[in-house]
Structure 1
Amino acid sequence: MKFFILLAIVAVAAAAPFTEEQLKKGQQHVKKCIGETGVSPETVAKLKGGDFSDDDEAVQCFALCFFREAQFTDASGNQNKNAIIGKLSVDKDPKAVEAAYEKCKGVTGTSPCNKAFNAYKCYRSAGLF
């Protein structure tokens, strides 16, 4: 099991052009959220790759957990503009990040988990993840 968690963390880290500090924090968030939601590392790797075919409640709650840990949302799935723009602008064009935020800020859902999952899909389609 530890191998699969490590594999998922490596897959997440390799797919994102973030700073070393962001990658380290992201790895911690992934590990914590896998433990909290029970989502498999393989599912996390698929999610990171843009495969949204596994969209059950646990996967959606993984998205909420990760976004909450990154301070992109609160526990209700409400987005934090300053954290999103500030943290994602470190390695991306700030104007592109702000445009993505404007596109995705109104995303809704049937629950906090669903709302965060839908926001992740929106930001992913905007090229931020």
Structure 2
Amino acid sequence: MKQNQISNFALVLVAILLLQMDYAKAALSMKQFEKTLQMFRNACLPKTGASVEAVDALKIGTFPDDDKPLKCYVLCVIDMTGVLSRKKEFIESKMETQARVILPPELQEFALNGWDSCRTVPKQYKDPCDRVYYTVKCTHGTNPSKFTFA
């Protein structure tokens, strides 16, 4: 019984420490973020069949309207960030939390401002790949020089 009480106390203590953690300090560095993007890319390219050339072109703002595998690639990457529901809809409450954890500090405000500017875009699309793709495209348009993608 005492061992169980000690274990419960330790769990509560860990939970309190995690709640006190400053998200800005939990953010990834740019180098860590780039490695994470590469991991997302390695997972999503084979899963979706998107071409490497089309994926690379996203970084310079090329968002073709007729490339379904590319659209689903974008969905796959964004889904890996943990901001989508099972129905592949954005979970607004997770957008800021995940931005503060996943993105380097120098990209956080861009991402959050982009989301604020583009939050109505998902409502215009029923298809999950389109919904996420056009939201990311809109975000790119808010500040192309800060935009990066896996």
TM-score, structure 2 length as denominator? 0.64
Give the structure with higher Rg (CA): 2
Aligned to 1:90: 105
Q: Give the whole-Å Cα distance in 1 for the aligned partners of 2:142 and 2:66.
A: 19
- Structure having the higher helix fraction is 2
Contact 2:72 2:129 survives alignment (8 Å):
yes
Q: Residues 112 and 83 from structure 1, CA distance in 2 versus in 1: closer, same or farther, beyond 3 angstroms?
A: farther
Match of 1:50 among 42, 57, 61: 61
Q: Give the whole-Å Cα distance in 1 for the aligned partners of 2:66 and 2:74.
A: 10
SS at structure 2 position matched to 1:43: helix
State yes or no: 1:113 paired with 2:124: no
Output aligned runs, 1:1-80, within 5 Å: 19-53=30-64, 55-79=66-90, 80=94
TM-score, structure 1 length as denominator? 0.73
Query: Displacement of 1:83 after TM fit?
Result: 4.2
Question: Which structure has the higher relative contact order (CA within 8 Å, separation 6+)?
Answer: 2
Q: Which moved more, 1:43-52 or 1:81-90?
A: 81-90
Runs of 4+ more than 2 Å apart? 53-56, 70-80, 82-85, 96-99
- Sequence identity of aligned pairs in percent? 23
SS at structure 2 position matched to 1:91: helix
Structure 1's unaligned 5+ residue stretches are: 1-17
Structure 2's unaligned 5+ residue stretches are: 1-28
Q: How many residues align?
A: 111
